[in-house]
Each structure stands twice: as structure tokens, then as C-alpha cells.
């Protein structure tokens, strides 16, 4: 889900609560806080030697001991508005960072709307080979490259 899509969703349902559902179906406790909104930029070279860049908006979620705390979607839209200046544009994907035994980062797979809440469905992030043609793997959707492509890992192409 992009920053613009999330902001629009929250604005359309400004009287609802904002909730998060983890990939296993459990919920982040409803008393969570958004402690950071950040622009994350990652520039890297994949195993095929292609220079790539990925930009995301990352929301850090923290659960404190104030069990009566609740975030309404209108307030969450305001939090996003404060962080908008950090982002290159509204089309960047939004990811959620949450600690439950370990710190994990999640993508947003979709949402559910019920009587009182907008619930974002979170999905696990995965690693993948971005040069599958050089590694003898089936083709996948890849991040756009920044420059030319050449193998950095020798004749086989895969590190």
C-alpha cells in the first residue's frame, strides 16, 4: 500500500480506530503507538551487479503500558501528514516496523473495514534473488535498476 493510498483510506474513515493484524492472524495490541514515521532509502547492488534503489515510508509501532491508549484514523492521518515532507512523493510503499520478540518489518497486504476500525493486514517481507536469469532461476518481478547491468560475481553471475 502506498503512502497516498493509506492516507486516503484513513481520511475516508476518520471516525474509526486504526488497527494492525499480523500475518499469522493475531493483532498488534490495540494500545499501540506510532513512535516514528521515516523515509528509508536503500541503495544497493544486487548479485548480478545491477545498482538499485528502494524508498519506503516506515512506521514504527510500539506497545507501551498505557493499555487504554487508542489511535483513531483521523489522528493517524495527521501523523502521516507530518511525515509527508520527508518522502520523495506519495507513491512510496508504507511498511510497518514492530517488535514482538524480535524487530520485524512488514508490508501492508490490504485492509479490512469493520464497524469501528480500519484494520491493516500486514504481510511478511521476504528476501529474493534480483538477478534470477544469471542464477538459473525463474524470472520474478524485480526492483527497477538505476544503471547498467553487469555481473559482479564472476562468470556464473550469482554470488
pLDDT confidence of residue 132: 85
Q: Which of 149, 116, 114, 115 is nearest to 133 (CA)?
A: 149
* Cα distance between residue 13 and residue 129, in whole Å: 39
pLDDT per position as a tens digit, 117-131: 999 999 999 988 888
For residues 79-88, average pLDDT: 94
For 82, the 3-state DSSP assignment is helix
Q: Tell me whether residue 159 is exposed, middle or buried, using C-beta atoms within 10 angstroms of its C-beta: 0 to 12, 13 to 18, 19 or more.
A: middle
Q: Residue 133 — pLDDT band, cuts 50, 70, 90?
A: confident
| pTM of model > 0.85 | no
Q: For 112-129, give one letter per residue: b (16+ CB within 10 A) or e.
A: eeeeebbbbbbeeeeeeb
Q: How confident is the model at residue 42 (pLDDT cuts 50, 70, 90)?
A: very high
Cell of 46: 544486487
Mean pLDDT of the chain: 89
Question: pLDDT category, 61, cuts 50, 70, 90?
Answer: very high
Look at residue 38 in the predicted model and tell me its pLDDT: 96
Amino acid at each position: 500500500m502506498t503512502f497516498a493510498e493509506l492516507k486516503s483510506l484513513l481520511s475516508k474513515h476518520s471516525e474509526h480506530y486504526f488497527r494492525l493484524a499480523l500475518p499469522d492472524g493475531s493483532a498488534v495490541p490495540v494500545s499501540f503507538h506510532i513512535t516514528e514515521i521515516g523515509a528509508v532509502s536503500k541503495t544497493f547492488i544486487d548479485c548480478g551487479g545491477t545498482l538499485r534503489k528502494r524508498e519506503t515510508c516506515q512506521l514504527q509501532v510500539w506497545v507501551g503500558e498505557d493499555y487504554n491508549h487508542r489511535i483513531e484514523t483521523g489522528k493517524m492521518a495527521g501523523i502521516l501528514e507530518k511525515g509527508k515532507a520527508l518522502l520523495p512523493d506519495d507513491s512510496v510503499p508504507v511498511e510497518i516496523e514492530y517488535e514482538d520478540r524480535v524487530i520485524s518489518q512488514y508490508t501492508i497486504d490490504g485492509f479490512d473495514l469493520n464497524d469501528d476500525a480500519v484494520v491493516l493486514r500486514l504481510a511478511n517481507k521476504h528476501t529474493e534473488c534480483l538477478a534470477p536469469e544469471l542464477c538459473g532461476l525463474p524470472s520474478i518481478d524485480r526492483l527497477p535498476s538505476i544503471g547498467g547491468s553487469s555481473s559482479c560475481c564472476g562468470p556464473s553471475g550469482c554470488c
